[in-house]
């Protein structure tokens, strides 16, 4: 991380502009600012992606507004990091169910509306969503790294494919922050811990992933704690990716 180059750079979108366009995000925005400063990420730029699980077991989280709330938290974070204030959002289950851009003018109720339009909720396959996000970021032509917030409530059907994609993606300027929703005793979260702990350099050139378990009631997790967890490992990846010439 080239901290000297970041001197004098503030958030990509100011609080004044956000309050004018999306006043409902102001509280999230201010909490995110605290975590960014705490992790020495002030002035840093990144394209923020959101990946949302639509497997059948996720139905209650869409119904009760948890998914909309989570997307708003990620959108508020992106306004500090991404100049266009857009979060490219991918929905997945057995395959990629659909994708859309979330921004400051269209976000209210957007996640539930998109979810309802996407039809059947299937099984859980990470790798197709990972492939779609990689393709989108490479095609964007941006020189900024990607911070991918990848939400799920359990391990994938094809675990080998997910691990392979993560290891191959380690050579790209992309960091994958996995967020687990659900029972803390769920054995399938062991796979997400495994992805977080894959060996470097025998498995991947740098540690390009983190995992945070938000518990069975993710909406009750405070902004402060959520942002601290989303950003905890990202600075370490930035340093390693720069050292390895990935950035």
Please give the DSSP secondary-structure letter assigned to residue 165: H
Q: What is the pLDDT of residue 125?
A: 96
Token pair recorded at residue 162:
């997910």
Q: How confident is the model at residue 3 (pLDDT cuts 50, 70, 90)?
A: very low
Asked whether residue 17 is domain-assigned, the answer is no
Asked whether residue 33 is domain-assigned, the answer is no
Q: Which domain holds residue 136?
A: 44-243
Asked whether residue 104 is domain-assigned, the answer is yes
- b/e sequence 75-86, b meaning 16+ C-beta within 10 Å: bbbbbbbbeebb
Q: What is the pLDDT of residue 83?
A: 86
Domain count, the chain: 1
Asked whether residue 19 is domain-assigned, the answer is no
CATH number for 151: 3.40.50.410
Q: Tell me the per-residue pLDDT of 23-42, one tens digit each, with 9 for 90 and over.
A: 999 999 999 999 999 999 99
Token pair recorded at residue 51:
């990946």
Asked whether residue 101 is domain-assigned, the answer is yes
The least confident of 1-5, 80-84, 148-152 is 1-5
Q: Report CA-CA distances (Å) from 236 to 39, 64, 152, 180.
A: 10, 35, 23, 21
pTM of the entire predicted model: 0.95
Asked whether residue 28 is domain-assigned, the answer is no
Token pair recorded at residue 143:
């020189």
Q: Provide the sign of the torsion angle of the four alpha carbons 66, 51, 74, 187, taken in this order.
A: positive
Mean pLDDT of the chain: 94
Asked whether residue 58 is domain-assigned, the answer is yes
Q: Is the pLDDT of residue 7 over 50?
A: no
Asked whether residue 36 is domain-assigned, the answer is no
* Average pLDDT of the residues in 96-117: 97
How far, in Å, CA of 160 to CA of 158, rounded? 6
Cα-Cα-Cα-Cα torsion 20, 22, 23, 27, nearest 10 degrees, comes to -130
């Amino acid at each position: 991380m080239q901290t000297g180059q970041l001197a004098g750079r503030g958030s990509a979108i100011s609080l004044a502009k956000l309050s004018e366009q999306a006043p409902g995000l102001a509280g999230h925005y201010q909490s995110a600012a605290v975590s960014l400063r705490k992790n020495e990420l002030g002035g840093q730029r990144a394209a923020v992606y959101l990946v949302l699980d639509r497997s059948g077991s996720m139905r209650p989280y869409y119904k009760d507004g948890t998914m909309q709330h989570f997307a708003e938290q990620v959108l508020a974070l992106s306004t500090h990091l991404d100049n266009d204030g857009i979060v490219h959002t991918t929905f997945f289950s057995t395959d990629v169910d659909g994708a859309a851009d979330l921004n400051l003018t269209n976000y209210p109720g957007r996640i539930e509306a998109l979810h309802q339009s996407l039809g059947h909720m299937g099984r859980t396959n990470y790798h197709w969503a990972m492939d779609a996000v990689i393709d989108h970021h490479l095609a964007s032509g941006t020189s900024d790294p990607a911070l991918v917030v990848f939400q799920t409530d359990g391990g994938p059907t094809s675990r080998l494919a997910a691990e392979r994609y993560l290891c191959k993606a380690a050579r790209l300027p992309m960091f994958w922050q996995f967020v687990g929703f659900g029972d803390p005793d769920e054995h399938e979260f062991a796979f997400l811990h495994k992805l977080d702990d894959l060996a470097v350099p025998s498995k991947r050139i740098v540690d390009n992933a983190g995992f945070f378990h938000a518990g069975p009631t993710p909406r009750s997790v405070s902004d402060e704690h959520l942002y601290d967890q989303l950003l905890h490992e990202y600075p370490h990846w930035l340093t390693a990716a720069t050292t390895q010439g990935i950035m």
